A = this chain, B = another copy of it.
Amino acid sequence: MGESLIKICIVEDNKYMREGWQTILDFEPDFCVLGAYNSCESAFESGEINRSNVVLMDIELSGMTGIEGVRYLKIHQPKINVIMATVFDDDRNIFDALCAGAVGYLTKKVSPEELCHAIRDAYRGGSPMTPQIARRVISSLHESPDDETKLNERELQILNQLATGNSYKTIAEEIFLSVDGVRYHIRNIYEKLQVNNRSEAVAKGLKKRII
C-alpha cells in the first residue's frame, strides 16, 4: 500500500482548470492521472473511471451534474473516493454532495499543495475539507436548543412510540397508562410542536433530532 500509485480521474468542464489540475497532479510521484473528462457522461463512457481510487469532480457540470455523478458512482463503484470541487460553498450544495456520497469537499481556490494533500487524505480514508466546511457539517449535527420545543420524558417516550407506528391502545399498554392518558400527552405534544396530527409530529421530532 505504501508504494502504490493513487489513480485519479478528473471530471471538470472548464478546460483550463482541468488541464491545470492534471499538470499539478501528474507532477507528483505517487499520483497517476488516468483520465480527465469534461462531463460525467464522457467519464463514465470511458470506463477508466472504474479503475480510479480518487475522483476529483466538479459540481457544476452541464448534463449530469456532479452531484448526480457522485450518486451514480457511489452505487456502481462504492469504493471510489469522490472529492467534490466547486466554486460554491453554500450549505445546500455541500450537503447534497456529501449526502450523495462524496467523501470530501473543496473549493476551487485550494492551493496545489492542499489539493495533493486532500487527495492523499481521501485515499487513506480521510475526509478532506476546509475547516469552515467541516464546521458547517458539524453544526448540522448539533441539537437545536433553538426554540421552546421542550418535551418532557413522558412526551418523548410517547413521541417515540408514535414514530414506531403503534396505536394509542398499544402505546397505552406499553407504558402502563390509559388510552386517554396517552391522548392527553399527545395533545400536549401537538401543541408544543405546533402540529395537528401524528405523522407531522413524527416528522418534526425527527427533523429536530429530539427522537
Contacts and interface: CB of A to CB of B under 8 A. Distances in A.
A138 B127 contact: yes
Nearest to A167: B197
12 contacts: A100-B143, A124-B131, A125-B135, A126-B131, A134-B134, A137-B138, A163-B202, A164-B200, A165-B196, A165-B197, A199-B199, A206-B207
Contacts of A32: none
Contacts of A137: 127, 137-138, 141
B127 A134 contact: yes
B138 A203 contact: no
Q: What copy number does this chain have within its complex? A: 2
Interface residues of A, number: 45
Contacts of A130: 126
The CB with the most chain B CB atoms within 10 A, among A100, A137, A195, is that of A137
B143 A134 contact: no
Q: What 8 pairs between A and B have smallest CB-CB spacing?
A: A126-B131, A165-B200, A127-B134, A163-B203, A127-B135, A206-B206, A199-B202, A127-B138
A186 B187 CA distance: 26
A98 B9 CA distance: 33
A165 B9 CA distance: 45
Interface string A167-211: 000000000000000000000000000011111111100110100
Nearest to A137: B137
Nearest to A130: B126
A198 B197 CA distance: 10
